[in-house]
Amino acid sequence: MILGFLASHGGSAARFLTAACWDGRLNAVPVALASNNSGSPALAWAREAGLRAAHLSAVRYPDPDALDAAMVAFLRGAGVDTLVLSGYMKALGPQVLAAYAGRVLNIHPSLLPRHGGRGMYGDRVHAAVLASGDAESGATVHLVTAGIDEGPVLAQSRVPVLPGDTVESLKARVQAIEGELLLGALRELA
């Protein structure tokens, strides 16, 4: 498995999975990371880690079709066969979705289908879980399709919602399980 990543900010999943590849926990080779944010820490990290790195955004490619084509060219040029979204905050274009159909994974910080969809990311998800009164939350690894957070679920892991939880405390508990969940899903996909 040849891994590529898309990240908008810190790229914690990309970092975790790359470390897992390097220490033998995942039989895969991380090769590339693209970001829509030229100043993202993930992009700087990828360059330092020796991954092929690119800033691919609407700033550089105002035409959405051209951006979509540039992303496919970058990923294919790096030999990527499996794509992982690592906090990527943009919808993928039809060319990327077609080129990597069934091979694009995302991790979402709730038990999908609950608390997913457009506008449901980061702290907003944890706030929605708390506001709903749900007794549990967790993380979901799913395949990426054209619909936001609508692709088939590959794996889920649950955490309790505790009395007195805040967005920060729930977020920390969910983030603590995300890396291993994503790692397990990639092992199964391989």
Sequence ranges of the domains in the chain: 1-101, 106-190
Predicted confidence (pLDDT) per residue in 137-157, tens digit: 999 999 999 999 999 999 999
**What's the rounded mean pLDDT across residues 96-124?**
96
Share of the chain above pLDDT 70, in %: 100
Q: Which CATH class is domain 1-101?
A: alpha beta
Q: Which of 9, 55, 108, 115 is catalytic?
A: 108
Predicted confidence (pLDDT) per residue in 21-68, tens digit: 999 999 999 999 999 999 999 999 999 999 999 999 999 999 999 999
The domains spanning 1-101 and 106-190 adopt the same CATH topology: yes
108 is known as an active-site residue:
yes
Residue indicated by tokens 């991380």: 30
Question: What is the pTM assigned to this prediction?
Answer: 0.94
Residues 125/149, Cβ–Cβ less than 8 Å: no
Pick the CATH number of 106-190 from 3.40.50.170, 1.20.1050.90, 1.10.1040.10, 3.40.1280.10: 3.40.50.170
Instruction: Judge whether residue 190 has pLDDT over 90.
Output: no
Q: Comparing C-alpha atoms, which of 91, 64, 75 is closest to residue 149?
A: 91
Instruction: Judge whether residue 16 has pLDDT over 90.
Output: yes
DSSP symbols for 26-93: S--EEEEEEES-TT-HHHHHHHHHT-EEEE-STTT--SHHHHHHHHHHHHHHTT--EEEESS--SPPP
